[in-house]
């Protein structure tokens, strides 16, 4: 089935970790292969209901829960994101980092949002999945974390 999907879309969506042939087929059946329906990369995850619904009043966020509208393509990406918990790929690292930060549901939502942006870029620009881009982000994250920990160590040495 993968060669047929590649012919339909022009790229191989199954190379993305967590996206199987069935997931790609369900997503394409709901969204299509033309990304001209959305103005930008930000509108695609919003249409899939993979963004928080920030209710702001007076400059303060009142609520940021996800809206309860059902979108089959968004639910498909959430299921694909939940499979990354034990994955050794870069997206698996992103899932685990988000789970430590936001909890289980937040991690699934954030990772599904990341998957939707990757899929949008692949279908819009007809570019194959490139894990080196995410690896570069991972390296920057590690460097920032090391610098932050070194600063904390210096502060603790001054106090002690």
pLDDT in tens, 60-80: 877 777 667 778 888 899 999
Quote the CA–CA distance of 87 and 67 in Å, as a whole number. 28
- The alpha-carbon radius of gyration of the chain (Å, integer) is 18
Report long-range pairs for 18-23 (Cβ below 8 Å, ≥24 apart). Answer: 18/80, 18/81, 18/83, 18/84, 18/87, 18/89, 18/91, 18/115, 19/80, 19/115, 19/119, 20/80, 23/76, 23/77, 23/79, 23/80
List CB contacts of 88: < 8 A, sequence separation 6 or more.
none
* Residue ranges per structural domain of the chain: 2-129, 132-160
Given pLDDT bands bounded at 50, 70 and 90, which one contains residue 33?
confident
pLDDT of residue 79: 92
pLDDT in tens, 35-51: 888 888 889 998 888 88
pTM of the predicted structure, to 2 decimals: 0.80
pLDDT in tens, 73-131: 888 999 999 999 888 888 888 899 889 988 888 899 999 999 999 999 888 888 888 88
Quote the CA–CA distance of 131 and 91 in Å, as a whole number. 9
């Amino acid at each position: 089935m993968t060669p047929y999907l590649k012919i339909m879309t022009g790229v191989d969506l199954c190379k993305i970790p967590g996206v199987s042939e069935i997931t790609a087929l369900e997503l394409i059946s709901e969204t299509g292969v033309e990304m001209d329906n959305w103005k930008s990369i930000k509108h695609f995850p919003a249409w899939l209901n993979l963004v928080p619904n920030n209710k702001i009043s007076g400059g303060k966020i009142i609520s940021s829960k996800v809206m309860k509208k059902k979108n089959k393509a968004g639910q498909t990406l959430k299921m694909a994101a939940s499979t990354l918990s034990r994955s050794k790929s870069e997206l698996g690292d992103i899932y685990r980092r988000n789970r430590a930060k936001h909890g289980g549901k937040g991690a699934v939502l954030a990772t599904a949002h990341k998957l939707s942006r990757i899929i949008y870029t692949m279908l819009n620009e007809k570019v194959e999945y490139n894990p080196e881009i995410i690896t570069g982000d991972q390296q920057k994250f590690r460097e920032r974390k090391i610098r932050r920990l070194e600063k904390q160590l210096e502060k603790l040495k001054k106090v002690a």
